[in-house]
Structure 1
Amino acid sequence: MALTLSLLFLSFLLLPQSPCLSPTSLSPYLSGATLLHNYENMLKTFKIFIYTPSTPFHFPHAPASLFYNSLLRSPFLTHSPAEAHLFFVPFSPDTSTRSLARLIRQLRNNHPYWNRTLGADHFFVSPAGIDYSSDRNLLELKKNSIQISLFPVTSGYFIPHKDITLPPFNPSPLPLSDTPDENSTFKTSFLGYLRWDGKTESNLVNEFKGDADFLVEEKSEPLNYVRSLKESKFCLFLYHGDVAWMVDAMAWGCVPVVIVDRPIQDLPFMDTLRWSDMALLVAVRRGGAERLKQLLNGVSEEQYVEMREAGMAASNHLVWKEEPQPLDAFHMVMYQLWLRRHAIRYARREFV
């Protein structure tokens, strides 16, 4: 029954939402048909084995904690390693490199599964990500195993096409169930909105504050926050700044603009969602707020509407629930793991 409801919901999301635009222009997916087929198979067959933690631990970051707790309660778990597609290596975020190396060495010596793939069918949660190391155990963990981290990840701590980032979690209570649908009319008062954390000082933020086309607020009350999202055409995010409200922005039809000075490949669910058609990645090293204004005003109304609608549709998959729902953030993380379950089986060899 749960599988049927999930597929019905997904089928609804994949249907064209407007006669004015083609399904392709509205769809937030790289391939909706592939997602539908794979998601059904994942629900039926995907199994994960969790190693017993060597010491008690918890994840202090909300997305990581929600993922781990949801996984523990999910039907994806198996107590039989023989039927597992992937193996989860649990450890505390503050584990030292020496202790982490010892943990991997113990897995290698006490279990047969790590050596079959040199860790390629294993995954772990590290909110900040892990760096490269000369230690052989940590090097295999870094290069081969799937890392799940918080978005955004420090440069060098994330390997595209292998690693996964968790969608941000915004603790502010917002009535997302009351957000407008993709076809609702909208009127904006501001070109860009920046919800400033009050900590990140920059010349660019000061320029935004002095420009009437931009709205800059600190720690808004929830009602003012919603109004600001509704009245703004674009929502501005400083990469490695406060991105917790990005999903809220998308749900309310405010197109995300990520201000970053280099290409990024750690946006959540990049294997599934067409971020290039839902958000703008811009560098404003020169020109500041005025240059950004030129870029945003250069987006055609047709392109903007398509980005807004695709982002609103995609936001359904980026929301964390205390009790997981079909195709929510937890299930989409599982889907990213499902896509990575095919590991290369290395010839087994003895290690000293």
Structure 2
Amino acid sequence: MRGDLSAILFLLVLLFSVAIFNSYNGSGTSSSVLPFFRLSPVTMPAPAPTDSASATMSAPTPADSAAAPMPGSAPAPVPESVPEMPNATPSTVSNASAITEKTRGSVVEMSRLEQLEEGLARSRAAIRRAVLGRNYTSDRKGRGFVPRGSIYHNSYAFHQSYIEMEKRLKIWIYREGEPPIFHDGSSMGLYSIEGQFIQEMDKKRLRFITNDPEQALIYFLPFSVERMVRFFYKKGSTVNVVKLISVVISDYVQVVANKYPYWNISNGADHFMVACHDWAPKATVKEEAVRSLIRVMCNANTSEGFNPKKDAPLPEFNFLFRLPTVVRVPTPPSSKKMLAFFAGGNHGSVRNFLFQQWEGKDSQIQIFQHLPRRKGYTQHMMNAKYCLCPSGYEVASPRLTESILAGCVPVPISDGYVLPFSDVLDWSQFSVSIPVRKIPKLKEILINIPEHSYLKLQANVMKVQQHFVINDPPKRFDVVHMLFHSIWLRRLNVRLFDL
């Protein structure tokens, strides 16, 4: 009787998980890229090891059967007509029809896309199995780092997804354009993560870069918005710089779309850009030419059109003289005597509110526009339990990454900010987010966090540090690879045959 009950419970859990996965397959969107990244690991009663239970675990869903033929089966036939597309614009249907006309007689082109999509379907199925089985499968020799713990929404889903990314992700970089606006970017300063990423891509030393566009899953547009701003902006000028940037980006897309077939196949849904400048969202959000483009941006503000289902947040850094690193000798939690700390310019409404409420009003909350002499910025962060990360002119702030690398629990203070890598990382486990309206209650919120809860938060900050480190050359699971994984997730959420 107990064995029958366990088997019934197991099947119910399995059917629930398949239903969630099928809802993702059918809609083409989800609450956050892939549903199972935010599901807690499923605890299932162990059923009797029967062949039927094993078959149930490995059987594909109907949606997967269509997208990913089983080994040995015939590939899906080339579609004779464009499938109906809900909410499609006339231009979208027209483009898709043109693509079908061009490729109807091209077995090579269609089989290439079919193979790519079949591989992605297999990856989705592998991630689902990892969640259900609380395990992972890999061809890689030696496990290396294994992500586990509460800092992840679902460590099993993340780990398997990362393995699948290493197996399948290939990126081709468009060659058009000349430095400094294309294939280059600033390597130091507030927006330098943009330039660092573009330069790293052009070095082509990462396993994900391919020289064959036919093998690519994703395509990179190598322009620098920060360099465009520097080139176009002149103090006192009445020129609309944001509009000029929009024109440059649209023209670049037109060039590569006319020269290569890849943009037109997906309307840009498998293409991405990287930008850290504050004006990047405004320059791209209303442009019809790039409406499907994956935008990887520091200014990940939902009130300015950032769409976390399609776009990916980029962590902001302030490179001064060298790459930021983890503090070598962190301050033990028991020695942190300051409750909260912030130092920075009073610009933007959020910071203005913060300074009005707390500057010079409480010895436990140290807030400065300018640090006194002989008081080091990093040392203050190391000596504080919580490091405040208020938005400035825009939502993103380098203090988020600076806090983590200093071993200080970050306190994001913003509205509408999608935190970096939040598809995978559970920020509630290593940070304390405070909405702007609750700034007056800042001390009350922080001081009422029990000591054991603070110690857990701080310990998790130390665990998550490796995901915010910039290495030269990049290493597995560091910030560059986490960015690749964010981009991979967006591609995993797109089926070209559904466009």
TM-score by length of 2: 0.58
Q: Which residue of 1 aligns with 2:445?
A: 295
For the 8 Å contact 2:346–2:352, the answer to whether it is kept is no
Q: Is the 8 A contact 2:298 2:314 kept in 1?
A: yes
Distance 2:309 2:201 in 1: 22
Q: 3-state DSSP class of the match of 1:340?
A: helix
Which has the larger displacement, 313-322 or 168-177? 168-177
**From 139, 145, 153, the counterpart of 2:288:** 139
Matches within 5 A, 1:247-326: 247-260=401-414, 262-264=415-417, 266-285=418-437, 288-289=439-440, 291-326=441-476
Q: What does residue 186 of structure 1 align with?
A: 334
Q: For 1:66, which of 179, 188, 196 is the aligned residue?
A: 196
Residue-by-residue CA offset, 1:282-315 (whole Å, 9 max, x unaligned): 13536x54x2111112222232222222222112
Whole-angstrom CA distance in 1 between matches of 2:210 and 2:484: 14
- Runs of 4+ in structure 1 deviating by more than 6 angstroms, as ranges, are 132-135, 220-223
Q: Which amino acid aligns with 1:124?
A: M
Instruction: List aligned pairs for 1:69-84, cutoff 5 A.
Output: 69-72=199-202, 73=204, 74-84=206-216
Identity across the alignment (%): 25
Change over 3 Å in CA distance of 1:134–1:310 after alignment to 2: closer
Whichever of the two has the greater Rg, that structure is: 2
SS at match of 1:148: strand
Contact 1:152-1:239 within 8 A present in 2 as well: no
* Contact map agreement 1:116 1:346 (CA 8 A) in 2: no
SS in 1 for 2:281: coil
Shift of 1:119: 0.9
> Which residue of the partner structure matches residue 312 of structure 2?
164
CA contact (8 A) 1:193 1:229 kept: yes
User: What's the CA shift for 1:328?
Assistant: 0.8
**Unpaired runs of at least 5, structure 1:** 15-22
Once the two structures are TM-superposed, the CA of residue 230 in structure 1 deviates from its matched residue by 2.5
Amino acid at match of 1:340: R
> Contact 1:230/1:254 (CA < 8 Å) preserved in 2?
yes
Give the aligned CA root-mean-square deviation in angstroms.
2.9
Residue by residue over 1:160-219, the C-alpha shift from the partner in whole angstroms, topping out at 9 and shown as x without a partner, is 1221122222335676251449xx552322211012236566252142322111112435
CA contact (8 A) 1:179 1:252 kept: no
Residue 209 of structure 1 aligns to a residue in which SS? coil
**Counterpart amino acid of residue 148 in structure 1:** V
Counterpart-to-counterpart distance in 2, 1:67 and 1:298: 40
Amino acid at match of 2:298: L
Match of 2:260 in 1: 111
Q: What secondary structure, in the 3-state scheme, does the structure 2 residue paired with 1:39 have?
A: helix
Q: For the Cα contact (< 8 Å) 2:296–2:311, is it kept in 1? A: yes
Structure 1 residues 140 and 304: CA distance shift in structure 2, 3 A: farther
Kindly indicate whether residue 491 of structure 2 is the aligned counterpart of residue 341 of structure 1.
Answer: yes
Which has the bigger relative contact order, CA under 8 A and spacing at least 6? 1
SS of structure 2 residue aligned to 1:176: coil
Task: Measure, in 2, the Cα distance between the counterparts of 1:316 and 1:222.
Answer: 30
2:198 maps to amino acid: Y
Task: Indicate how the Cα distance of structure 1 residues 35 and 203 shifts in structure 2: closer, same or farther if over 3 A, else same.
Answer: closer
- Cα deviation, 1:29-64, whole Å, max 9, x if unaligned, reads 112222222222322331101111233222233101
* Structure 2 residue runs without a partner (length 5+): 1-139, 229-243
Alpha-carbon shift at residue 90 of structure 1 (Å): 1.9
Pairing 1:7-18 to 2, within 5 Å after superposition: 7-8=143-144, 10-11=145-146, 14=148
Q: How far apart in 2 are the matches of 1:107 and 1:179?
A: 49
Inter-partner Cα distance in structure 1 for 2:302 and 2:285: 19
Are the counterparts in 1 of residues 268 and 293 from structure 2 also a CA contact under 8 Å? yes
- Does structure 1 conserve the Cα–Cα contact (< 8 Å) formed by 2:296 and 2:314? yes
Range with greater deviation from structure 2 (238-247 or 105-114): 238-247
| Matched residue type, 1:213 | Q
Partner of residue 364 from structure 2, selected from 213, 221, 239? 213
Deviation (angstroms), 1:85: 0.5
* Alignment deviations for residues 295-341 of structure 1 (CA, whole Å, 9 cap, x no partner): 11222223222222222211210122232122111011011111122
CA contact (8 A) 2:284 2:290 kept: no
Kept in 2: contact 1:53–1:91 (CA 8 A):
no
Matched residues, number: 323
Give the secondary-structure state (helix, strand or coil) at the position aligned to 1:49: strand
- Tell me the secondary structure at the aligned position of residue 194 of structure 1: strand
Query: Using a 3 Å threshold, how does the CA distance of structure 1 residues 334 and 108 change in structure 2: closer, same or farther?
Result: same
